[in-house]
Amino acid sequence: MNGSQPATDLTTVLAGDHRELDRLCTELELGQGSPENRRDLADHLIAVLVRHAVAEERFLDGDGDLAEAEDLMRRLEGTGPQEPRFERVLGGLIRAVRRHVRDEGARAVREVRASCPPERRAELGREVLEVRHSAATLPHPDLADRMPQADQLWPGPGFVDRARAALRRAAGSPG
């Protein structure tokens, strides 16, 4: 990177998402906390991943490497934290997220940097941040003390689809 990029540069936004996704995966891999707390953290990982995927799909070509993660997110939302398969599905999601961050994430950032002038990257980054800010979210009561309200989404059945639809509506795209 030549010099520092503004906080609104799309490459900075996407790279920040990758760092946050990596941090959440690490926290989940530590395996600490009650099943309910792990569920809350998994839901937060899903919310961050969905908003990141919506940003990437809107501004980058292809989203194939997130297709597996999408399937695992949907399977996880129908699984209780006490169920034996919860940790297995969560482990698969963590592996898919790590592959995205490692393989696709850096490539996406390089592609945007190479194909898009700095002014356009700043404009696109501002758009992504505005969409995230304006997307309707419902706070999860157990997360209020752990993350900003703007990052909270109400989990449960349909969580992935509702989050994606809210972000697309805020972006003015068909849901």
pLDDT in tens, 27-45: 999 988 899 899 999 999 9
Question: How many domains are there within the chain?
Answer: 1
pLDDT tier at 153, thresholds 50, 70, 90: very low
Give Cα separations from 34 to 11, 39, 59, 150, 166 (angstroms).
35, 9, 38, 24, 30
3 is a domain residue: no
Residue 66, pLDDT score:
74
Instruction: Find which of 117-121, 129-133, 138-142 is predicted with most confidence, using mean pLDDT.
Output: 117-121
Backbone phi, then psi, for 80, in 5-degree steps? -75, 150
- Encode pLDDT of 30-84 as tens digits: 988 899 899 999 999 998 888 888 777 766 655 556 778 888 998 988 889 999 9
How far apart CA 114 and CA 117 sit, in angstroms, is 8
Say if residues 100 and 66 touch (Cβ distance below 8 Å): yes
Residue 1 placed within a domain: no
Token pair of 109 as six digits: 């950032």
- Predicted confidence band of residue 24 (pLDDT cuts 50, 70, 90): very high
Q: What mean pLDDT do residues 134-141 have? A: 47
As a whole number of angstroms, the distance between CA 103 and CA 93 comes to 15
Helix/strand/coil for 172: coil
Token readout for 134 is 């304006």
For the ranges 41-45, 137-141, 148-152, the maximum mean pLDDT occurs at: 41-45
**What torsion, rounded to 10 degrees, do the Cα atoms 173, 166, 8, 40 define?**
-150
Does 113 have pLDDT greater than 70? yes
Residue 4 lies in a domain: no
Reading the block at residue 21, the tokens are: 């996704």
Q: What is the pLDDT of residue 142?
A: 45
Query: Tell me, what's the pLDDT at 143?
Result: 45
pLDDT at 95 > cutoff 80: yes
Domain of residue 39 covers: 10-171
